[in-house]
Amino acid sequence: QVQLVESGGGVVHPGGSLRLSCVASGFTFRSYGMHWVRQAPGKGPEWVAVISFDGRIKYYGDSVKGRFIISRDNSNNTLYLQMNSLRPEDTAIYSCAKEQLSRYYGWDVWGQGTTVTVSS
């Protein structure tokens, strides 16, 4: 079945780094734009970044621009998020999501997420 499974979360000190992964299955990964989104406890979703189907176009949310890098490996059906210079306010559940048709048509598949905690 169509599925996204994230991994790589954990506890990290402020200023530290983490690399998240999202493995896709059940659909043609290389054909779709992919997003990272995060949700802090008790809060709504906050968009983090998007990458086009071929990896050529990337956009970031203001709160992570210059610190996070989104990338993908279409040969291994995997999406990545490299997170650097982490701050306590980056603490959240990070999920990957698949575009339904384009960036205008919403996300029809979400992963269950991986938890990132930034604390000293």
Beta strands in 1-120 (DSSP E): 3-7, 10-12, 18-25, 34-39, 45-51, 58-60, 68-73, 78-83, 92-99, 107-110, 114-118
Positions touching other proteins (CB under 8 A) are 35, 37, 44-47, 50, 59, 61-62, 95, 100, 103-108, 110-113
92 Cβ neighbours under 8 A, 6+ residues apart: 38, 39, 40, 41, 43, 46, 115, 116
The 8-class DSSP code of residue 41 comes to T
Closest to other proteins by CB, 55 vs 61, is 61
Q: How far is the CB of 33 from other proteins (least distance, A)?
A: 11
Residue 50 Cβ vs other proteins, minimum distance, rounded to whole Å: 7
Nearer to other proteins, 68 or 107 (CB): 107
Tell me the closest approach of the beta carbon of residue 72 to other proteins, in angstroms. 17
Please say which residue, 17 or 102, places its beta carbon nearer to other proteins: 102
